[in-house]
Amino acid sequence: MAGWTKAAAAMWAGAALLGTALPAAPPAAPVTAPADGHGAYATQTYRNLFTEQLGHSQAESRAKIEHAFRQFFHGDGQEQRVYFETGANAKGPLAYITDWANNDARSEGMSYGMMIAVQLDKKREFDALWNWSKTYMLTTDPKNPSIGYFAWSMGTDGTPRATGAAPDGEEYYAMALYFAAHRWGNGKGIYNYQAEADTILRGMRHHPTLTATPPFRIHPSDPPFVEPATPWPSPNNRAAQAEAEKAGKPWPPVRPARVPRPVTVGPMVDEASAMVRFVPETSIGGTDASYHLPAFYELWARWGPAEDRAFWARAARVSRDFFVQVADAKTGLAPDRSHFDGRPMPGWDGEPGSFAYDSWRTASNWSVDHAWWGKDPRQQALSDRIQGFLHGQGIKTFADRYTLDGKPLSTRHSAGMVAATAVGGFAATPGPVSKAFLQELWDMPVPAGEQRYFDGMLYLMSLMHCAGEFRIIAPRSQG
């Protein structure tokens, strides 16, 4: 927030609360537009990997995508669907995407659902998810230092499970809203998609640094949120319950009471390194490679608030270097969390620099960047490395968590990880290994049951990517 005064920071917080326009940041010096690269942005051609390597037609690919969309958004409520409509308010229909196993709605999943909807031209579903996000998840209490951010986890009844934010949700919200502005045009209020996206991006970089002591509220009229000693026991998480019982551990798990301490929240990006932070709480450092989205940053360097475009162009370059830095030289596996200098940080499982659930997305992120922009030839080696390692572990059986040097940390084989790694085919050398991942994705049944949320969202978005149906939706004047 360089150059902003305390008065400007106070104006920002007040504007976020009232839903008014944010004060403009200090004008930046004119910058040269970034180069367009050699990918789909420049060529307007989107590769269908299923056609190239498996011989399936575009019509077959679209039919498979539409089938998966119907199941996840309008299928059986107990075993298939993750999208649920919950009535309406004065702004229109309301709906959430749920992590079924944990019985909550997450900014990650809500923004993924919006991205899927705008890509597939499903405006009702898009607007309903955005309305629920703004109604329940947007922090508007000025005493909460996360004001202006979206709470990362909410109960499906609209009550909080957390009062802090996670940048991956904000990133996908912003990108989906820009695409919506270009696909459908801007409406009024919360449906002025362009203005809403600009507000999110300004907040990510220019959020004032605020300190307060919990308990916090999401909205001023809410009761204070106090994290319970035992997390909410989801009736859907049968596998976790059985695992705990088998190990003789209590269910739900008990957390020791924590003495409230002051919390300081600032921007979602680290200005010095030009990297997205793991969380905006300043006491929790580092970044998450799976949050790095250079394919999106390039678009924000063209479409985002003018004063921040040079920053996002730099962030795209930094993220490409960071992928090379953090991916293991032999396995291609990247850690869930890292210091800004690339050194791995311990994950939540206590393992030093483990490849875990967030990490599944990293190969997809660099490969989509390769498909859209074609600016970094090093991404071919990255994809070859991770696909080659996992293929060698057994493509139908490889674990979903590893140490970075390749020691399995689980026995579960996860559909979402297979799907995200298949997207690596955009950067990988075409051949038997890349083809094997695409075949696995094509043959995979649509994820259903208890774990259908994360597996399913990654499955559907990966299917769209590999079919060439996840595209840059440009302003109409851009063609």
Phi and psi torsions of 352, nearest 5° = -75, 105
What CATH class does 82-236+255-267 carry? mainly alpha
- In sequence order, the β-bridge partners of residue 269 are 276
Which residue in 141, 298, 328, 358 is the catalytic one?
A: 358
Pairing assessment for the beta strands 104-106 and 92-99 based on DSSP bridges:
antiparallel
The architecture of the domain spanning 32-55+270-473 is: Alpha/alpha barrel (1.50)
CB 50 within 8 A of CB 466: yes
- Please tell me what DSSP assigns to residue 383: H
Higher pLDDT pick, 33 / 130: 130
- Which residue from 69, 217, 189, 216 is spatially nearest to 130, judged by alpha carbons? 189
Residue 402 CB partners (closer than 8 Å, separation 6+): 331, 333, 354, 355, 408, 409
Cβ neighbourhood burial of 60 (10 Å; 0-12, 13-18, 19+): middle
In three-state secondary structure terms, 82 is: coil
CA 352, CA 412: separation in Å to the nearest integer? 20
Indicate the pLDDT class of residue 320, thresholds 50, 70 and 90: very high
Active site residue 358: yes
* Both structure tokens of 369: 């960047």
Identify the pLDDT of residue 35: 95
- Geometric angle at alpha carbon 43, from 37 and 45, rounded to 5°: 125
Count each helix (H run) and each strand (E run) in the chain, helices first.
16, 8
Q: Give tens-digit pLDDT for 235-286.
A: 777 787 888 888 888 877 777 777 889 999 999 999 999 999 999 999 999 9
In three-state secondary structure terms, 228 is: coil
Which residue in 108, 127, 288, 298 is the catalytic one?
A: 108
- Laid out side by side, the sheet with 92-99 consists of 83-89, 92-99, 104-106, 153-155
- Which residue from 285, 282, 157 is spatially nearest to 218, judged by alpha carbons? 157
pTM: 0.92
CA 160, CA 232: separation in Å to the nearest integer? 11
Q: What percent of the chain has pLDDT over 90?
A: 83
- Listed in order, the ranges of the chain carrying CATH 1.50.10.10 are 32-55+270-473, 82-236+255-267
Q: Which H/E stretch holds residue 73?
A: helix 58-74
Residue 229 CB partners (closer than 8 Å, separation 6+): 254, 255, 256, 257
Q: Give tens-digit pLDDT for 181-198.
A: 999 999 999 999 999 999
Indicate the pLDDT class of residue 22, thresholds 50, 70 and 90: very low
Residue 246 CB partners (closer than 8 Å, separation 6+): none
CA 280, CA 197: separation in Å to the nearest integer? 18
Neighbours of 33 (CB within 10 A): 9
CB 285 within 8 A of CB 338: no
CA 179, CA 8: separation in Å to the nearest integer? 30
- Mean pLDDT, residues 149-157 taken together: 97
In three-state secondary structure terms, 60 is: helix
* Both structure tokens of 457: 């969202």
Q: Give tens-digit pLDDT for 71-114.
A: 999 999 999 999 999 999 999 999 999 999 999 999 999 999 99
Higher pLDDT pick, 46 / 20: 46
Identify the pLDDT of residue 205: 98
- Please tell me what DSSP assigns to residue 275: E
DSSP string, 326-364: HS-TTT----S-B-TTS-B-B-TTS-BT-B-TTTHHHHH
Q: Give tens-digit pLDDT for 352-375.
A: 789 999 999 999 999 999 999 999
- Which residue from 198, 413, 415 is spatially nearest to 303, judged by alpha carbons? 198
